[in-house]
């Protein structure tokens, strides 16, 4: 995420630096600027509260977690330094392998949501379409709904005994199943809800990107006799690729951190849990249920490494397919 942001802000930062020499006092012909020392005090006033809060509640805790990952808490509350023990134990934990696989599967399925969102955004962007804002509102409703509530609703829909999904499938002669307790379907079922819940946000982002494509380009393609399909793949997709890239980076990060849906849709005693437990759920279990803080801290750091690695890979790959104007 920071890479993404750094990339997006690289230009503004240097632009600002250019403004600095002007701030030198006593420049003739211009109103006197505040001295650098004076503006530093003002900056402290403006930034200080947030900086302190971030330091106390975010930066320092992150460092603490790193330290914690090298310790083990004793039975009476103290903790002792154990070196890399948590990490070696983690790498040998069979549950980790399962959690990594589950998170990977979840992330891959979550990415399917991107082409769906692009397609819907493209349909919504049809020139002269009536009722566009009505559709947009309907697709957006899950975005404003509490994930905890969404999870409950889908639990009911997925229910194996009287869930409405099975009843609908029965109409087409398809045998349903208990989607959320069946180890072979639970993870997919949750990922589908994840896609459904995030669709509205992605559609809105893509729609903003599509509306930024100049009409003249599309008109030019019309003149050249390009059909709608050809236009979509040769013009719309390449010009939308920065948005697609952005959404895919965010989606991967979000999918790797999924917790609410797993927690609310399955429950601890679900027989499908070994096939559904994601990395963050593993972290939650270790840190807050088993009370193994050091071990949980090691899991959190592994998660950070995975996120960083995947983000770097995505940025490497972007050169191959993302077109910046």
Partner 1 sequence: MSDVSLDTRAMTGAPTGPGDGARRGSAGRGASARRPGRRIGRGHWLVHLLLATGAIVMVFPFIWQTLTAFKTFQDSVQVPPVVIPDPWVFTNFAEVFDSMPFGQMFLNSVLLTVGRTVGQVVLCTMAGYAFARIPFPGRNVVFVLFLSVLMVPSQLYLLPQYEIIQALGWLNTLQALIVPGIFSAFGTFLMRQFFMSMPAELEEAARIDGANPWQTFWRIMVPLAKPGIVALTVFTVLWSWNDLLWPLVVTTDPEKMPLSVGLSQLVGLHGTDYPVLMAGALLATLPMLVTFMILQRQFIQGIAFSGTKG
Site for partner 1 in 96-155 (CB under 8 A): 120, 123-124, 126-131, 133, 135-150, 152-154
Say whether residue 246 binds partner 1 (CB under 8 A).
yes
* Binding residue (CB under 8 A) for partner 1 from 180, 240, 264, 273: 264
Closest alpha carbon to 147 in 301, 280, 260: 260
Work out whether 189 is an interface residue with partner 1 (CB under 8 A).
no
# residues contacting partner 1 (CB under 8 A): 124
Q: Which residues, numbered 283-322, are part of the site for partner 1 (CB under 8 A)? A: 283-284, 287-288, 293, 296-297, 299-301, 303-304, 307-308
* By the rule CB under 8 A, 208 interacts with partner 1: yes
Told to check if 178 binds partner 1 by CB under 8 A, we report no
Q: What is the 3-state secondary structure (H, E, C) of 188-233?
A: HHHHHHHHHHHHHHHHHHHHHHHHCCCHHHHHHHHHCCCCHHHHHH
Q: Which of 274, 239, 297, 255 has its CA nearest to residue 62? A: 297
Q: Measured from the CB of residue 323, what is the shortest distance to partner 1 in angstroms?
A: 8
Among 219, 313, 317, 321, binds partner 1 (CB under 8 A): 219
Helices (H), the chain: 2-19, 36-54, 60-68, 85-92, 94-124, 132-140, 147-158, 164-171, 186-211, 215-223, 228-231, 237-256, 260-266, 279-284, 293-321
C-alpha–C-alpha distance, residues 51 and 293, integer Å: 27
Closest approach, Cβ 162 to partner 1, in A, equals 5
260 with 222: CB under 8 angstroms? Answer: no
CB of 45 to partner 1, least distance (A): 7
- Residues 29-88 interacting with partner 1 (rule: CB under 8 A): 31, 34, 36, 39-40, 42-47, 49-51, 53-54, 56-62, 64-65, 68
255 scored as a contact of partner 1 (CB under 8 A): no
Cβ closest to partner 1, residue 12 vs residue 75: 12
């Amino acid at each position: 995420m920071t890479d993404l942001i750094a990339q997006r802000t690289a230009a503004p930062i240097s632009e600002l630096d250019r403004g600095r020499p002007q701030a030198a006092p006593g420049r003739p012909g211009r109103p006197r600027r505040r001295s650098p020392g004076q503006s530093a005090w003002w900056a402290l006033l403006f930034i200080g509260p947030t900086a302190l809060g971030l330091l106390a509640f975010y930066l320092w805790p992150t460092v603490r977690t790193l330290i914690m990952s090298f310790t083990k808490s004793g039975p009476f509350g103290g903790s002792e330094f154990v070196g890399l023990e948590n990490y070696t134990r983690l790498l040998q934990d069979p549950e980790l392998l399962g959690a990594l696989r589950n998170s990977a599967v979840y992330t891959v399925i979550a990415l399917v949501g991107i082409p769906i969102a692009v397609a819907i955004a493209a349909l919504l962007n049809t020139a002269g379409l009536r009722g566009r804002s009505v559709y947009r509102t309907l697709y957006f409703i899950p975005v404003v709904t509490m994930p905890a509530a969404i999870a409950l609703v889908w639990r009911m829909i997925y229910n194996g005994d009287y869930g409405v999904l099975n009843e609908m499938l029965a109409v087409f002669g398809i045998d349903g199943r208990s989607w959320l307790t069946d180890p072979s379907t639970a993870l997919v079922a949750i990922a589908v809800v994840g896609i459904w819940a995030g669709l509205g946000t992605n559609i809105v982002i893509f729609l903003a990107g599509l509306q930024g494509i100049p009409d003249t380009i599309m008109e030019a393609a019309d003149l050249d006799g390009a059909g709608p399909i050809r236009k979509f793949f040769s013009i719309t997709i390449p010009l939308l690729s920065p948005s697609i890239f952005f959404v895919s980076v965010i989606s991967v990060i979000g999918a790797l951190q999924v917790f609410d849906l797993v927690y609310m849709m399955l429950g601890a005693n679900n027989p499908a849990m070994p096939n559904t437990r994601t990395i963050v759920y593993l972290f939650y279990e270790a840190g807050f249920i088993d009370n193994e803080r050091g071990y949980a801290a090691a899991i959190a750091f592994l998660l950070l490494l995975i996120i960083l690695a995947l983000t770097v890979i995505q940025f490497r790959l972007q050169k191959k397919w993302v077109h910046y104007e």
